[in-house]
Amino acid sequence: MGQNPPKVRKEAGSDKEERLAALFDSCYPRVARYAYARIGDRTDAEDIAAETFLRALDSLDRYQERGLPMEAWLFRIAHNLVVDHLRRANRFERAQEDEELQSSDNPAHVAEERILMADTQAAMEQLTKDQKNVLTLRFFGGLSSKETAATLQKSDGAVREMQRAALERLRSLLR
C-alpha cells in the first residue's frame, strides 16, 4: 500500500504489548491487503488496518490466549471493521473514478486493473458470505486455515471445504 503505516505505541511491561508490537510489521500489510480485497479502496483499507491495531492495543487487557496466534484475533478485529465499513459505505462516485484515471501516469494500466478487480469482485459476489470471508482471509490476509477458522468461528475442516468450493466456483465464473 502507498502510505507508511502508523506506528503502534509500545509501553513497557506487558508481554501482550510486546507481542502485538512484534506482529505489527508482518501483519499490518496483510490486514491492509485483506481489507482492500473486501472493500476495493486502498486508503480505506489502510485506515482499517491502522484502526485494527489501535483497537487491539486499546482492548489488549481483554485479550485471552485460546491456543491460537494473536494474528487470528487481529484478523477478527479487522473482519468486524470491514463489515462495519461495508454496512455504511456508499458506492464510489463515477466522477472520482474518472479523476483517478486522468491523473494517472498510465491510465490504461489503471483501467485494466479496475476491470480485473471488477470481474473478480463480481465473481466473488456470487459466492456465499462465508466463502468470500475464507478466501480473503486465506489469500489476502495470509492466514492458515486454522487461523481463519478461529477468526470466523468455524471448524478447520469447514474452512478447508469452503475454500475448495469457493475456488472451484471462482474458476468456473472467471473462465
- Over the stretch 38-78, which tens digit does the pLDDT of each residue have? 888 899 999 999 999 999 888 888 887 777 788 888 998 99
Residue 51 lies in a domain: yes
Binning pLDDT at 50, 70 and 90, where does residue 5 land?
low
Q: Look at the chain and report how many structural domains it folds into.
A: 1
pLDDT value at position 115?
Answer: 76
Distance of alpha carbon 93 from alpha carbon 174, whole angstroms: 26
Q: Does the structure show a pLDDT above 90 at 139?
A: no
pLDDT value at position 91?
Answer: 46
Residue 40's H or E segment, with its range, is none
Residue 144 lies in a domain: yes
Q: What does pTM read for this prediction?
A: 0.58
Which of 6-20, 59-73, 90-104 shows the lowest per-residue confidence on average (mean pLDDT)?
90-104
Binning pLDDT at 50, 70 and 90, where does residue 156 land?
very high
Binning pLDDT at 50, 70 and 90, where does residue 11 land?
very low
Residue 3 lies in a domain: no
Residue 8 lies in a domain: no
Residue 127 lies in a domain: yes
Residue 65 sits in a domain of what CATH number? 1.20.140.160
**Residue 141 DSSP SS3:** coil
Residue 99 lies in a domain: no
The parent domain of residue 62 ranges over 15-91+106-174
What is the signed CA dihedral for 110, 112, 117, 122, rounded to 10 degrees? 130
Residue 155 lies in a domain: yes
Distance of alpha carbon 143 from alpha carbon 148, whole angstroms: 6
